[in-house]
Amino acid sequence: METIATLREKFIAGSFTPTQAVEAAFSVIEAQDQEIHAFLDTYKEEALQLAVVATKRYEAEGEDAPALLGIPVALKNNILVKGKKATGASKILANYTATYDATIVTKLKAAGAIIVGAANMDEFAMGGSTENSAFGPTKNPVDTTRVPGGSSGGSAAAVAMAAVPVAIGTDTGGSIRQPASYCGIVGFKPTYGSVSRYGLMAMGSSLDQAGPLTNTVADAELVHGIMSGTDAMDATTISADTYAEVPVKETYTIGIPRDFMKEGVDADVMEVFENHVKALESAGHTIVDVKLPLFEKGLAAYYVVMPAEVSSNLARYDGIRYGHSAEGDTLLDVYEKSRGEGFGDEVKRRILLGTYVLSSGYYDAYYGKAEAARGLMRTELAHVFEDVDIVLTPSAPTPAFTFGAQSDPVSMYKQDIFTVPVNLTGVPAISIPGGTVRRDENNEPCGEQHKGVDLPVGVQYIAPHGGESRLFDLGKKMYDTKN
Amino acid sequence: MPDMNKDDILRLGTLARIKISDEEAEALKGDITAVLEYVSVVNDIAASSDLTKEVGVVYNVFREDVVTVAPGTHTEDLLAEAPARKGQYVSVKKILNTD
């Protein structure tokens, strides 16, 4: 698959043009997206017009052209692009048109990226499979009987089916890294505050970050570099000196929280993980065991904090100022009916949970305790990072599952066991493809002689706050150079 | 551990301003009870330590409370999204039922 880096080289050399790249993107979309459904909307005419301009600019400017000029990109549909539908894959915003550009969109446009379409997702980014999209699920391009993961499933599928070399997703509890793992691509979640959230539909405001899904770590680094930075429109953005420098090294000490993986991880996924550990060792890195007992309970804290923030953030969808509005006799009636009709099951479930944990009498027992647990997790992780440079886990405990396979909420939530603690503590993490596992039609592991499908499995590198360059460095050494 | 019944769910729906049908409430009560049971381990984590609030490295950013764009700049764009409007206002149903 074409990377941003190779496209850029060809654009500069003139052997391939932005117009050809955008045409290629749409020929993939037109051939495959009826089946895959990675996109909720596409902007062909406008993209082709921008490509003509970009093509001319390369002729005139060559390598001085902006870094992403002419590169086709897909954006998860919870990211606002002025004049375009921003649905959050929810019925309540089915006809909502964004009135301004998100900061990351302004930055991507300034860098010359061409937005080709809006990517499908779980409704308001709540889910791990895109099965919660109000507009129908996305299929995994690796095996269309399986989910692409989520909530940035459309973004991951758009890259995996080679429609675009980069798609932007958002990650509140694993929503970039888990679909990257399921689709066999790279997914990066930055340090909290590194990327502006202005113009992103808020889900869990203390957890949300936007990041790239790409074919290589180098591409992720490039795009993250463009999207990150302090923003006056988001008071939680950090500056370059907020955290102590996290140096890049020749070789790293890598900590593995083995207790954390004792249960619930598929045996063949563990095998891919262990092979990656061996590869790290033979590349000269030092592997040590670390203990992160609180991380094992992170998921519980997450399912208190996140719904609490969801219930507050989604109060804005009221049927009055924008979005779906139901007929009602009184104002209250309009609120209740608009929200009852507009929200899907998972969104309702989380709003009600959040309402419960924040309600008088339960606040201290749930939200207060979860926030305290979160503080303790941060301390625990900081101690571990005194001794190791990187913490390594699988990105998800299983490969992509088949549609409907995770039907009860708690088992779906457990897919996020390794990714959620990263959001709770605010550190950066990257999922890179670690290998594949072979499964037959009953999802049982099988040998090469059997009819089956090779499903990608990701490994997750976690660095201290502000440690993105360390993640990119090790990621490039372990993945880019070998592929 | 709370065992949610249908009325509890309907009450939460009222608090959250979401109309929940009886059928939905039946399905939700099991789901919410299961999740609350799952998350109850947060008590084990937090119970083992003192709960003093810590101040992180990230803190609030302020700016002068002044208007930064000319009045009316975004009015039309924003009102175009409103389900019902009256001139420059968003139109809503009556708030008090006086019948």
Q: What is the pLDDT of residues A126-178, one digit of tens each?
A: 999 999 999 999 999 999 999 999 999 999 999 999 999 999 999 999 999 99
- Domain containing A325 equals 302-364
Check residue B50 and give its pLDDT. 56
Is the minimum CB–CB distance between B69 and chain A shorter than 8 Å?
A: no
Considering the domain architecture, whether residues A442 and A347 belong to the same structural domain is answered as no
CB burial readout B29-51, b (16+ within 10 A) else e? bebbbebbebbbbbeebbeeeee
Domain count, chain A: 2
**pLDDT score at A296:** 83
Residue A435: is its pLDDT beyond 60? Answer: yes
CB A344 within 8 A of CB A90: yes
Beta carbons within 8 Å of A98's beta carbon, 6+ residues apart:
A80, A81, A82, A83, A84, A85, A86, A199
The answer to whether residue B34 neighbours chain A at the CB level (below 8 Å) is: yes
CA distance A51 to A112: 10
Average pLDDT for residues A86-102, to the nearest whole number?
A: 97
The whole-number pLDDT of residue A430 equals 98
B58: nearest CB among A100, A193, A304: A193
Element (H, E) at A290: none
Structure tokens at B26: 């039946």
A202 and A157 together in one domain: yes
Residue B34 within a domain: yes
ipTM of the complex: 0.91
Q: Are residues A458 and A352 in the same domain?
A: no
Q: Are residues A8 and A119 in the same domain?
A: yes
For residue A1, what pLDDT is reported?
A: 62
Q: Which of A364, A379, A403 is the last residue of a domain?
A: A364
Grade residue A337 by pLDDT with cuts at 50, 70 and 90: very high
Q: Which helix (H) or strand (E) holds A471?
A: helix A468-478
Interval B54-76 mean pLDDT: 81
For A332-341, A414-423, A438-447, A455-464, which range has the lowest pLDDT when averaged over its residues? A438-447
On whether the CB atoms of residues A168 and A181 are closer than 8 A, the answer is no
Tokens in use for A120?
């499908």
Tokens (6 digits) for B45: 């984590």
Last residue of a domain, which of A322, A343, A364?
A364
Between residues 389 and 428 of chain A, which touch chain B (CB distance below 8 Å)? Answer: 408-410, 413
Least confident of A205-209, A254-258, B89-93: B89-93
In the predicted model, is pLDDT for residue A434 greater than 90? yes
Q: What is the pLDDT of residue A324?
A: 97
pLDDT given at position B2: 72
- DSSP-H helix ranges across A39-102: 44-61
Do A165 and A26 share a structural domain? Answer: yes
Mean pLDDT score across all residues of chain B: 85
* Average pLDDT rounded to a whole number, residues A62-80: 98
Average pLDDT over residues A386-391: 98
| Short-list A78, A234, A168, A185, CA closest to A432 | A185
Nearest CA in chain B to A412: B35
pLDDT of B61 over the 80 cut: no
For tokens 């990119």, name the residue.
A472
- On whether any CB of chain A is under 8 Å from the CB of B55, the answer is no
Q: What pLDDT shows up at residue A450? A: 82
Q: How confident is the model at residue A98 (pLDDT cuts 50, 70, 90)?
A: very high
Average confidence (pLDDT) over A226-233: 96
Q: How many domains does chain B have?
A: 1
Residue A109: count other Cβ atoms within 10 Å of its Cβ. Answer: 18
CATH assignment of the domain containing A232: 3.90.1300.10
Look at A333 and B93 and tell me if their CB atoms are within 8 Å: yes
Residue A281 forms part of a structural domain: no
pLDDT at A143: 97
Instruction: Please indicate whether residue A228 is annotated as part of the active site.
Output: no
Q: Say yes or no to pLDDT of B99 above 70.
A: no
> Would you say residue A282 lies in a domain?
no
Q: Does B22 reside within a domain?
A: yes
Question: Which pLDDT belongs to residue B42?
Answer: 84
Q: Mean pLDDT across chain A, nearest whole number?
A: 96
Measure CB to CB from residue B19 to each of A340, A345, A349 and give the nearest one.
A340
* Active site annotation includes A155: no
Q: How many residues does chain B have?
A: 99
A63 inside domain: yes
- How far apart CA A432 and CA A279 sit, in angstroms, is 14
pLDDT at A441: 82
Q: Is pLDDT at B49 greater than 70 in this prediction?
A: no
Three-class DSSP category at A391 = strand
Per the domain annotation, does B31 fall within a domain? yes
Does residue A20 sit in the same domain as residue A111? yes
A277 belongs to a structural domain: no
Structure tokens at A337: 């009916």
Q: Which is the catalytic residue, given A133, A152, A175, A431? A: A175
**Which region among A71-85, A314-328, A365-379, B13-27 has the lowest average model confidence (pLDDT)?**
A365-379
Structural domain boundaries, residue B30: 6-47
Give the model's pLDDT for residue A248.
97
What counts of helices (H) and strands (E) characterise chain B? 4, 2
Looking at residue A268, its pLDDT comes to: 96
Gyration radius from chain A CA atoms: 21
Domain assignment present for residue A336? The answer is yes
According to the model, what pLDDT value does residue A297 have? 84
**Whole-Å CA distances, A290 to A302, A349, A423, A426, B49:** 22, 36, 19, 19, 21
B72: in domain: no
Q: Which of A90, A133, A151, A194 is catalytic?
A: A151
B11 touches chain A (CB under 8 A): no
Q: How far apart are the CA of A407 and the nearest CA of chain B, in angstroms?
A: 11
A32 within a domain of the structure (yes/no): yes
Q: For position A387, what pLDDT does the model report?
A: 97
| Residues in contact with A374: Cβ distance below 8 Å, sequence separation at least 6, in sequence order | A301, A305, A424, A425
Nearest CA in chain B to A306: B39
Asked if A267 is an interface residue toward chain B (Cβ–Cβ < 8 A), one would say no
Beta strands (DSSP E) in A250-355 are 253-256, 286-289
Per the model's pLDDT, the better-predicted residue between A104 and A441 turns out to be: A104
Read off the pLDDT of each residue in B56-61 and give the average, rounded to a whole number: 70
Q: Is residue B43 part of a domain?
A: yes
| Whole-number percent of chain A with pLDDT over 90 | 90
Average pLDDT score over residue span A280-290: 98
pLDDT(A179) > 90:
yes
Please compute the mean of the pLDDT values over residues A314-332 and round it to a whole number. 95
Q: Best mutation site among A207, A356, A408 for testing chain B: the one with the most B CBs within 10 Å?
A: A356
Length of chain A: 483
Neighboring chain A residues of B44 at a CB cutoff of 8 Å: 297
Q: Nearest Cα to A168, choosing from A216, A230, A105?
A: A105
Which range is least confidently modeled, A19-33, A270-284, A366-380? A366-380
